[in-house]
Structure 1
Amino acid sequence: MTSTMNSPAHHRQLGDQTWQADAICQSTEYSPVDPEVFFPEPDETAKIATAKALCGQCPVRRTCLDAALEGGDTDGIRGGLTEEERGPLHDKLASRLDYSRVNATIAGRDVHLTHTERRAVEYAAYRHGVSEQRLAWLLKVTEEHAKKRYREIRRAERNRTLNQPKTNTPPTETSGERLIRDDFGTAA
């Protein structure tokens, strides 16, 4: 599994694009920004440096990066990273596990989740006694699917308990001496 992160505290909700209004790359009357700066050719190092400097000042940089990764955007500089720098993150996205996203979902927010985060929500909901109906609502799935996931989790929990090795406890000692088989007598 990939590393676990705990930030940012406020995640972009499903379909939410309002964060773009706070982005530094948005051209305004007082701060004109050329959008072409964010789509440089690989050898245009001055444009790349300019775009990264702007991204470094952006209050929604992390949200921009998340949106690029979750949306599969592979062109241009997004979230302060070039296309090449985002490549490995795109590859690892499905296994991202950010507990702040899991907790936000359990709390009822519509947050973009990876496959691994969806599984973590299911396990957390199961352990906290969240109803199947609520889980279905949280994950935007049918109640039948939520019931199926809970059955699979119950089965996995049962199998994990059954597969745990039994620990042999050493025989107790009396007055500093080890007991041997003859001390217990024979079975009748």
Structure 2
Amino acid sequence: MTTRTNSPARHRSLGDHTWQDQAVCQSTEYNPVDPETFFPKPDETDKIATAKSLCRQCPVRQTCLDAALEGGDTDGIRGGMTEEERRPLHERLAHRLDYSRVNATIAGRDVHLTKAERRAVVHAAYRHGVTEQRLATLLKVTEEHAQKLYRETRRALRNLNLDTQSTPLAGSDGERLGRDGFGTAA
């Protein structure tokens, strides 16, 4: 099952770690934070509660969670979630389809994309007449690969149109013909 969201968000660009400067968990002279707070043992409920409380105040919480998921980080509390709470998100990450990420990519941002989001970028780019060269740049693939993606998209759309235009075959009694209706052995 594909998860879809349309949340307006500022997505982390590829290789961007500047968001960490805004994180509440960054210890400063005026805000001393013990990093061990974010790496509690499973039975240290006080540390877990403290870390989650700090995360709830963090302006880059979603970015932190995305970075943990996209980087495969399974240790500690990230984005306000424990390792156990993030586990299902890690498992479903490849199926995430966030249209705000797709739109950001079409607009030219270097955003981490899942397979489902990459397919959506190809489809949206094709529908909006984005050139193969531009698609190659957006997805960081060769122009030949972008051409292949567009060929596959054209075929898929053509076949989809054929499916919606065809009418079901019916026998003389009005019933839809099955395999036996074509004279094949039952």
Question: Does structure 1 residue 132 correspond to structure 2 residue 135?
Answer: no
Shift of 1:2: 2.4
Match of 2:179 in 1: none
Shift of 1:7: 2.3
For residues 65 and 105 of structure 1, what CA distance do their matches in structure 2 show? 20
For these two proteins, the number of residue pairs brought into alignment is: 168
Question: Does structure 1 residue 21 correspond to structure 2 residue 43?
Answer: no
Mind listing any 5+ residue stretches in structure 2 that lack a counterpart? 169-186
For residues 26 and 8 of structure 1, what CA distance do their matches in structure 2 show? 25
- The equivalences for 1:75-154 within 5 A come to 75-154=75-154
Match of 1:163 in 2: 163
TM-score w.r.t. the length of structure 2 is 0.88
Match of 1:11 in 2: 11
Shift of 1:6: 2.0
1:2-37, Cα deviation, whole Å (9 max, x unpaired): 231122421100000000000000000000000000
SS in structure 2 of the partner of residue 4 of structure 1: strand
Q: Could you tell me the percent identity over the aligned residues?
A: 77
Out of 118-127 and 158-167, give the one that drifted further: 158-167
Shift of 1:165: 5.2
SS in structure 2 of the partner of residue 164 of structure 1: helix
Match of 2:61 in 1: 61
TM-score w.r.t. the length of structure 1 is 0.87
Could you tell me which amino acid in structure 2 is paired with residue 56 of structure 1?
R
For residues 2 and 21 of structure 1, what CA distance do their matches in structure 2 show? 33
For residues 31 and 42 of structure 2, what CA distance do their matches in structure 1 show? 26
Question: Does structure 1 residue 49 correspond to structure 2 residue 67?
Answer: no
SS in structure 2 of the partner of residue 133 of structure 1: helix
For residues 131 and 15 of structure 2, what CA distance do their matches in structure 1 show? 26
Match of 1:176 in 2: none
Shift of 1:164: 2.4
Mind listing any 5+ residue stretches in structure 1 that lack a counterpart? 169-188
- The equivalences for 1:171-182 within 5 A come to none
Which runs of 4 or more aligned residues in structure 1 lie more than 6 Å from their structure 2 counterparts after TM superposition?
A: none
Out of 70-79 and 159-168, give the one that drifted further: 159-168
1:47-96, Cα deviation, whole Å (9 max, x unpaired): 00000000000000000000000000000000000000000000000000
Shift of 1:160: 1.2
For residues 11 and 102 of structure 2, what CA distance do their matches in structure 1 show? 11
For residues 108 and 15 of structure 2, what CA distance do their matches in structure 1 show? 15
For residues 140 and 124 of structure 1, what CA distance do their matches in structure 2 show? 16
SS in structure 1 of the partner of residue 164 of structure 2: coil
